[in-house]
Structure 1
Amino acid sequence: MSRAANESTAAARVGRPHDAAHPNAYPAAVVRQLSALTTEFYAREAASFSVTRQAPWHGWEKAWEVISEQRPSLAAEPLAVLDVGCGNLRFERFLATHTRGPVAVCALDNCTALAEDGTAPLSERFTLEFQETDLVEHLLNNHGTPLANPGTCDIAVAFGLMHHVPTFALRTRILQELISALRPGGFALVSFWQFLNDPRLAAKAEAVTAAGRAEHNLPLFQENDFLLGWQEAERVYRFCHHTPDAEIDALLANVQQALAQAHSSSPTFRELARFSADGKPGNLNRYVILQRH
């Protein structure tokens, strides 16, 4: 079965409308409920999750190559980095092996236990400011408050985050925040989980979504929205969105439009690269590398 057919079949069996780019797919109360399930998952499973998330992602090497080609002196420069959804800070450990200069990191996540698990091995060259932040709640409540000071970062990343953000509108906001945080010439590195590329994960997503929706009295999901569990844990759910390339295109177009409306001098950007990596089949994350003009 082709990837497109697999995605369509999984979506149809769970009974979701085909409306991937709907700007406001769920009421705020449902968005908060979906986000709360994910928050509870990480609070409960932080230790077991972190143990399985120690090695750097393969895609980070290629992403670093892309931005280093644009700025050959990058590894030696002092860097200001924004990491949205930092988890256990393994990207910071990756940076420690790929940089030589001082690195100041602003790291955001709502699971402090994960972040604390990753602080000890960090290089002395690193200055880390961790902010416990409920990103979804921030986006729902603080429409005019940025996640970071605009125009201050050399690199802004969101790895393993976008699939946990319910609705196209909020995913657009995350990307907008990343671009706005960059200095001219800065880079945004973003991954989108494409777990429906794996038939095993697609089947699990279908079954777990049906069980989780019934247990938590959730409405029909939008296209490519699912719940996933974790290992052998029972009644543990995390919201996960599969993001196909057509939606990535729409997200980038919406971000550029939103930035143009929000700024008299719009921080425009260009797409440097898009590629797949990670997971056993090598195609479970879709990376997008952007550069601010």
Structure 2
Amino acid sequence: MKQETVLQLNRLNQRFYQITAEEFSKTRSFYWQGWKELVGPLTELGKSHSQLKVLDLGCGNGRFAEFLQKEGVHKKLVYHGGDNSKELLAFAQSRLEKQSFEKNLFYIDLIDALINDNLTNILPLKKYHVITLFGVLHHIPSFALRKKLFNALAERLTDGGLLVFTAWRFLNEKRFEKKQIHPTLAKIDPDEIEENDYILDWQRGLTAYRYCHYTNEGEAKKLIEQTSLVLKKEYTADGKSGNLNNYQILSKP
């Protein structure tokens, strides 16, 4: 994919979250069902460390941090949440303001950081015990950048650390078929995007389009294989169907 197209898709998504931030946050105040499966592995990992350092990329309104605290995964939680939506970060700041654990919420444009090889300079810490990508992978344009992201995050994990990511399986639900629009409506050249790339309409009273990539099993396997990480657990959860997200927990040997 040309860099010009990558940047165009990134701008499209940035504008999407600027327009929908308030409503997006309201509809995502609940905890994901799939997070429950993470409590055991994260609690077990935390037993070996005096602190549990968590990096939540695409943190949105900060609900995962709140979930970790309520589940008591560690007595000394260190939570760093990054997002490219300043509006959602403001919601996160408000939501977590009264929480006692150590936290750092910061703005990050993942696409820009990956293109400019600047991701490692932006992250607050050199190493994390846990790195999460919830609802992020489908917003990274091009396989090349998704591959680059996985490699960069693998380097930022401690030995024995966990990278947890979700692949949004939006094609599993018919309601998302109605939201698919022709790329040209969003001024995107269909010949410049890659296989399994889609433009989705928000359809909630606002005109807002977002770029979403469907990561299938084959692609997920390729992303993992080119890193040093080992698949520890895989499962599906979330949505009314219970299979809206594919979760994969990867461990650094």
What is the TM-score when the length of structure 2 is the normalising length? 0.90
CA contact (8 A) 1:147 1:177 kept: no
> Residue in 2 aligned with 1:137?
112
Q: Which residue does the alignment assign to 1:41?
A: 16
**2:56 pairs with 83, 92, 96, which one?**
83
Provide the residue aligned with 1:277 in structure 2.
237
Kindly state the Cα deviation for residue 234 of structure 1 after the two structures are TM-superposed: 4.4
From 218, 235, 238, give the equivalent of 2:189: 218
**1:87 CA drift (Å):** 0.8
- Residue 5 of structure 1 corresponds to which residue in structure 2? none
Matched residue type, 1:137: D
Task: List per-residue Cα deviations over 1:24-80 (Å, max 9, x = no partner).
Answer: xx2000110011000001011100100001111000111223444x53737x95211
CA distance in 2, matches of 1:156, 1:141: 21
- Deviation string for 1:155-189 (max 9, x for gaps)? 11110100011111111122222221111111111
- After superposition, residues 1-293 of structure 1 pair within 5 angstroms as 26-68=1-43, 70-71=44-45, 73=47, 77-99=50-72, 100-122=74-96, 124-142=99-117, 145-148=120-123, 152-205=127-180, 208=181, 210=182, 212-220=183-191, 221-254=193-226, 256=227, 268-293=228-253
Give 1:228 shift: 1.0
In 2, Cα distance between equivalents of 1:184 and 1:89: 26
Say which structure, 1 or 2, has more relative contact order (CA 8 Å, 6+ apart).
1
Distance in 1, Cα, partners of 2:60 & 2:177: 24
Letter aligned with residue 102 of structure 1:
K
Structure 1 residue 281 displacement after superposition: 0.6
Q: Distance in 1 between matches of 2:248 and 2:133?
A: 10
Matched residues, number: 250
Cα 1:80–1:66 change in 2 (3 A) is closer
Unpaired segments ≥5 residues, structure 1:
1-25, 257-267
**Contact 1:272–1:290 (8 Å) recurs in 2:** yes
The one-letter code of the counterpart of 2:198 is: F
Indicate conservation of the 8 Å contact 1:150/1:180, yes or no. Answer: no
SS of structure 2 residue aligned to 1:120: helix
Q: How far apart are the structure 1 equivalents of 2:123 and 2:85?
A: 18
Identity percentage over the alignment?
32
Structure 1 pair 147–172 and aligned structure 2 pair: CA distance change class (3 A): farther
Instruction: Give the distance between the partners of 1:195 and 1:251, measured in 2 at CA.
Output: 19
CA distance in 1, matches of 2:100, 2:51: 10
CA distance in 2, matches of 1:292, 1:190: 14
What amino acid does structure 2 have at the position aligned with 1:73?
K
**Cα gap change, 1:72/1:36 in structure 2, threshold over 3 Å: closer, same or farther?**
closer
Cα deviation digits, residues 112-167 of structure 1 (max 9, x gap): 11022122343543222222111101111226745537752111111010001111
User: For residues 27 and 178 of structure 2, what CA distance do their matches in structure 1 show?
Assistant: 22
Letter in 2 for 1:131: F
TM score, norm. by length of structure 1: 0.79
CA radius of gyration, larger in: 1
Counterpart amino acid of residue 116 in structure 1: A
Q: Given residue 276 of structure 1, which amino acid in structure 2 is its aligned partner?
A: T
8 A Cα contact 1:195 1:284, kept in partner = yes
Contact 1:103 1:125 in 2 (8 A): no
The answer to whether the Cα contact below 8 Å between 1:149 and 1:181 also exists between their aligned partners in 2 is no
**Structure 1 residue 231, shift from structure 2 partner:** 3.2
